[in-house]
Homo-oligomer: A and B are copies of this chain.
Amino acid sequence: MLAHDSIWDVTPQVQQWQRAGERIGFVPTMGNLHHGHLQLIKRAQQVTDKVVVSIYVNPMQFGVNEDFDNYPRTLEKDTQKLENLNVDMVFTPSDDSMYPEGVENCSYVDVPGWLCQQLEGAHRPNHFRGVATVVTKLFNIVRPDVAVFGEKDFQQLMVIQQMVRDLNMPIEIIPEPTIREGDGLAMSSRNQYLTKTERQKAARLYAALNETRERILLQNMALSELEQATIMQLEQVGFNPDYVAIRRTDNLQEPDTSTDSLVILAAARLGKTRLIDNLRV
């Protein structure tokens, strides 16, 4: 496996592969790789000839009071996992090379309007600007044909898809379903922040989404009441929910009676850990 920390080494190597007719798959990560990430990589390997994985904890997408400093960094273990999967290249840029003039002075990409302002966007101001910008930068460095993103970050996936469409990026975005622990908790690097007691409770988030799904299908309660009921249910087991929202799958807007495809999205804190999850109805 090639390992590059310099932007200047990545592009020529990828171009060499592309000139040889090979299709490039890309999986951007913040490292601390778990089975969810590995599933994204396997999917990329199924549909392309060479797979590049980036490991970069992007400061631009963290808020001032968020966990940038404490975000788990486990580069050696990550590299070993990528070796075992026969990944072709790992790219691990430094902050200095990604933001040589500082995060504040870097040109940025914004997806306008409603999609970025609600749910995660409402609770994490400028989060999606940071995501859109670093993904644009990584896309320009790696120049992949295909990139794979997890459905666990459902709103992020939609933001990336809109950005790619709006800015005519010549890249196919492939969504990959969420991978879960045995008890249903969506895999996430942030799960390791949980205490043992919290970890036992954490799967109740997914359980609550499933119960909400059942109740939506029964059709005997207004969606806004269901959202409130789920929030109360989560509070009762010790969560501090940021939101529970039942939305249209295609654009995350509030559904009307004609909507036939719904997704339930939730974010909730358990102690100091913020968990997010979603479930299609």
Contact = CB atoms under 8 A, between A and B. Distances in A.
A140 B169 contact: yes
Contacts of A110: 107-108, 110
Interface in A190-217: none
B105 A113 contact: yes
Interface stretch (A159-167, A230-238, A268-276): A159-167
A112 B109 CA distance: 11
B106 A166 contact: yes
Contact of A143 (B11, B163, B167, B170): B170
A162 B107 contact: yes
A227 to B, nearest CB: 26
A11 B106 CA distance: 28
A280 to B, nearest CB: 24
Contact of A140 (B111, B112, B167): B167
A170 B109 contact: no
Contacts of A140: 167-170
Contacts of A11: 170
Contacts of A250: none
Nearest to A111: B107
Most buried by B among A104, A109, A132, A133: A109
